[in-house]
């Protein structure tokens, strides 16, 4: 089986899915535009996940190749229409629902109406859907009533990553070291990845440090972190896989996603944070703000607890113990790749290809 991934700016999810499939013997090709994968995420090699890659402007040349399915990576949703010329079954991979996040602008907003229409068209025109959680699947079925098969594939960890055991920083200084892993962390008020409230919770605590790992950071956020460097250590310069390999040096991973916007919270409840699986893959217990799907993962696996704040984190960390041995396979995207293959096979049979 050969899969063509169509991604405007390939994200880590696309890379992990393709790498897992390739490890199982599936042919993987990439048609991309925008920023190349290895430029967007230093340390990730295209050839580790894809047999070949080409700019989308030249994709018509691939029509002569034997392809079974085109896997459209969100965003943008309108890409489902872009690939119709390939005459292949189309799977639409929604790791976010833009209409949910943007609906906070109000239903009268023209951007909201446009996003909802584009999303509806993509979901109803696709031959198969990939979503990240059961709650997202439920929402899509209630809102759009798609007639195609659906596979739930979480934002699991890097396939085949060998995470070595490394010494804890706390052994050297007796501090409690928290870590927040985010591609682009924010500081400003109102954003669901806002770290200002976390800093306010930990600022007066004795011997507690928060390490923030960022792949991308704007100048405003960087200056904010520097102003509070007494309690927050900004870690830059690590590629995604290198970062996961280093997470084991910390004591606790945090997922502080929260928002006063009810629509944003709806999105957060149905999301599947990459960092949850990255912490798990590195053997790191976590403290997460209460979210529906993240909480289900914590309770099912015993890899952390839910907290309403990050006050008195030393006491909370005593409760945050891994209650049973973890299997890194369950945190690895390769664990879920079989469900992707089953979806592709069902689509090919249904479309008579």
Whether 289 and 183 map to the same domain: the answer is yes
- Decide: 152 and 186 in contact? Cβ < 8 Å: no
Closest CA to 231 of 293, 288, 180: 180
Q: Which domain holds residue 301?
A: 170-328
State both tokens at 170: 């706390």
Q: What is the mean pLDDT of the chain?
A: 86
Nearest-angstrom CA–CA distance, 73 and 95: 8
184 lies in the same domain as 35:
no
Helix (H, G, I), strand (E, B) or coil at 196: helix
User: Contact, 252 vs 291, CB < 8 A?
Assistant: no
Pair 8, 75 in one domain:
yes
Q: Are residue 14 and residue 125 in the same domain, yes or no?
A: yes
Residues 209 and 223 in one domain: yes
- The closest of 51, 53, 62, 71 to 5, measured between CA atoms, is 71
Q: What angle do CA 292, 203, 188 make, to 5 degrees?
A: 60
Residues 314 and 337 placed together within one structural domain of the fold? no
Q: Is 41 in the same domain as 138?
A: yes
In a domain, 164, yes or no: no
184 and 84 in one domain? Answer: no
- What are the structure tokens assigned to 266, written together? 């709806």
Per the structure, how many domains does the chain have? Answer: 2
Tell me the C-alpha distance between 328 and 3, whole Å.
26
Where is average pLDDT lowest: 59-68, 111-120, 287-296?
Answer: 59-68
Q: 233-245: per-residue pLDDT in tens?
A: 888 777 888 888 8
Q: Is residue 162 part of a domain?
A: no
Residues 272 and 210 in one domain: yes
Say yes or no to pLDDT of 35 above 70: yes
Inform me whether the pLDDT recorded for 83 exceeds 80.
yes
Output the CA torsion 248→250→256→257 (10° steps).
Answer: -30
Q: Which two tokens stand for residue 120?
A: 């509806």
Per-residue pLDDT tens for 115-164?
Answer: 888 889 999 999 999 999 999 999 999 999 999 999 999 999 999 887 77
CATH code, 248:
3.40.50.2000
Question: Does residue 139 lie within any of the structural domains?
Answer: yes
Q: Is the pLDDT of residue 353 over 50?
A: no
Residue 161 domain-assigned (yes or no): no
Q: Is the pTM of this model over 0.85?
A: yes
90 and 189: one domain?
Answer: no
Do 185 and 324 sit in the same domain of this protein?
yes
- Both 299 and 318 in one domain: the answer is yes
């Amino acid at each position: 089986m050969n899969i063509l991934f169509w991604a405007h700016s390939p994200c880590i999810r696309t890379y992990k899915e393709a790498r897992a499939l390739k490890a199982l013997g599936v042919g993987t090709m990439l048609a991309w535009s925008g920023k190349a994968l290895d430029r967007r995420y230093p340390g990730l090699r295209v050839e580790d996940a894809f047999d070949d890659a080409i700019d989308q402007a030249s994709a018509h040349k691939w029509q002569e190749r034997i392809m079974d399915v085109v896997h459209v990576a969100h965003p943008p949703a309108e890409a489902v229409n872009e690939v119709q010329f390939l005459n292949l079954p189309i799977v639409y991979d929604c790791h976010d629902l833009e209409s949910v996040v943007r609906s906070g602008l109000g239903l009268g907003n023209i951007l909201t109406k446009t996003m909802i229409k584009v999303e509806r068209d993509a979901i109803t025109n696709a031959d198969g859907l990939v979503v990240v959680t059961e709650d997202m699947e439920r929402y899509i079925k209630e809102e759009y009533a798609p007639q195609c098969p659906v596979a739930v594939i979480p934002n699991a960890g890097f396939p085949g990553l060998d995470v070595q055991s490394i010494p804890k920083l706390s052994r050297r200084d007796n501090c409690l070291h928290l870590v927040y892993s985010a591609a682009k962390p924010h500081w400003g008020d109102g954003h669901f990845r806002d770290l200002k409230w976390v800093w306010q919770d930990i600022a007066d605590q004795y011997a507690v440090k928060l390490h923030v790992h960022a792949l991308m950071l704007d100048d405003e956020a960087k200056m904010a972190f520097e102003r509070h460097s007494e309690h927050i250590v900004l870690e830059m310069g690590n590629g995604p896989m290198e970062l996961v390999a280093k997470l084991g040096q910390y004591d606790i991973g945090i997922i502080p996603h929260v928002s006063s916007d009810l629509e944003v919270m709806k999105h957060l409840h149905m999301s599947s944070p990459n960092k949850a699986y990255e912490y798990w893959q590195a053997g790191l217990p976590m403290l997460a703000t209460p979210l529906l799907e993240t909480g289900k993962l914590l309770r099912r696996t015993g890899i952390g607890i839910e907290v309403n704040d990050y006050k008195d984190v030393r006491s909370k960390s005593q409760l945050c113990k891994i209650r049973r041995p973890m299997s890194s396979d369950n945190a690895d995207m390769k664990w879920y790749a079989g469900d992707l293959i089953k979806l592709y096979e069902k689509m090919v049979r249904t479309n008579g290809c």
